[in-house]
Amino acid sequence: MRYLGMVLLGVAALFTTTMALGAADQANKAKAAAEQGAVTHTEHVESGVAGGATESFAGQTAEDAETIAKERKPFPAELPAAPEGDVAEVNLVVVDKTVEIAPGIQYNVWAWGETAESATALGPPIHVREGQLVKFRITNEGSIPHSMDFHAARIAPNEAFKDVMPGESFSFEFVAGDPGVFMYHCGTKPVLAHIANGMYGAIVVEPADLPPADREYVLVSSEWYLDSPGIDEPANLSMDKARAMTPDWVTWNGYAGQYAQHPLTADPGDTVRFWVVAAGPSLSTDFHVVGTIFERAWANAAMHDPQIGPQTVTVPAGGGGVFDVKIDDPGTYPFVSHSFASVELGQVGILKVGEPKGGSSH
Ligand SMILES: [Cu+2]
């Protein structure tokens, strides 16, 4: 219970109000800053001196943070269906965008998505089956070069993972011959900046012989390094903080505490499978579900060799892991990185099993 108390205290702290600013004023400033921010940011990163701030903005949220968090639609964690047949077509568009990474915290990212409109930081979860041919196309509608590095591919990186100039598209294909969950990311230099600015995601390569699961969720861990609080105007990357590995926020699927506010769900007795990637850019995640023990854990996504019954498993930066839990008792079960500084910085969600009795009084 002490753990749960700590976790929920952490969740509550996420929504602590620290600054007063009218919402309309904030929106206008964000819009104006977004219009200028991309250029400024680009210049900074290209010159390698993006945002020199080292002061921590951890835990600072907008005045109406709780309302914002409640009303915001969470990033979809459900594993999408894999395409039928022998070919999986994946098309991603890259755009400059301002997104929210915590309640009321705006940040200028390099986003990608299936369309420019749907693009966000992180990219969408991709699901293919082992053996499928992945036909991939990247279209760069951003202002600087970008690229794609699929960890699921065995391919010459100098040919496939090359920079794509603004306004251009590039295609390559690979056979998804190795099952697991893999990171994908932009590999353009400085890679630290491109990953820190949202250019990452997860691709699930599902083996044919995996035991069935009732619910399947994809979780990507990542950290954010801000050059300002991101409240009065959108934050940009602080390269100094990124180099020092001192994040302001650490998130599941790009947004602090979103699944604490909007829990993932399961029925009692369900087998729930988490496909987890640690995108970093630099920190690993020590995956743990409070109140249960993993039925099976495919550490490092080595799908031929599950571990039975571990409590916490490290997912390294740039790596993946697959985790099954089976929970019979209704309740709210937090999932965290058990490196608890990450929980303090926003990396906590809730798996709600059944209809838990009462509130979260403990
Ligand atoms: Cu990039």
Q: Residue 140's pLDDT is what? A: 98
Spatial separation of the C-alpha atoms in residues 199 and 24, rounded to whole Å: 29
As a dihedral over the C-alpha atoms of residue 107, residue 16, residue 352, residue 6, rounded to 10 degrees, the angle is: 120
Q: 247 CA to middle of ligand 1, Å?
A: 20
Q: Residue 357's pLDDT is what? A: 79
Topology of domain 87-206 in CATH is Immunoglobulin-like (2.60.40)
Q: Residue 359's pLDDT is what? A: 56
What is the separation, in whole angstroms, between the first and last Cα of the chain? 7
Q: 270 CA to middle of ligand 1, Å?
A: 38
Q: Could you tell me the CA-to-CA distances from 334 to 19, 59, 230, 265 in Å, in that order? A: 28, 19, 27, 11
Q: Residue 54's pLDDT is what? A: 85
Q: 110 CA to middle of ligand 1, Å?
A: 7
Q: 271 CA to middle of ligand 1, Å?
A: 36
Place of tokens 């591919």: 153
Averaged pLDDT for residues 348-362: 79
For residue 175, how far is the Cα from the chain centroid? Answer: 25
Q: 202 CA to middle of ligand 1, Å?
A: 16
Percentage, residues of the chain above pLDDT 70: 84
Averaged pLDDT for residues 40-52: 46
Q: 206 CA to middle of ligand 1, Å?
A: 27
Domain residue spans of the chain = 87-206
Q: 151 CA to middle of ligand 1, Å?
A: 15
Which residues have a Cβ under 8 Å from the Cβ of 143 and sit 6 or more positions away? 38, 39, 42, 96, 166
As a three-state string, the secondary structure of 70-105 is HHCCCCCCECCCCCCCCEEEEEEEEEEEEEEEECCE
Q: What is the pTM of this model?
A: 0.87
pLDDT over 60 at 72, yes or no: yes
Q: 46 CA to middle of ligand 1, Å?
A: 12
pLDDT in tens, 87-140: 999 999 999 999 999 999 999 999 999 999 999 999 999 999 999 999 999 999
DSSP state string for 161-211: S--B-TT-EEEEEEE--S-EEEEEE--PSSHHHHHHTT-EEEEEEE-TTPP
Q: 141 CA to middle of ligand 1, Å?
A: 11
Averaged pLDDT for residues 312-328: 98
Mean pLDDT of all residues belonging to the chain = 88
**In the structure, what pLDDT confidence band is assigned to residue 23 with cuts at 50, 70 and 90?**
very low
Q: Residue 53's pLDDT is what? A: 72
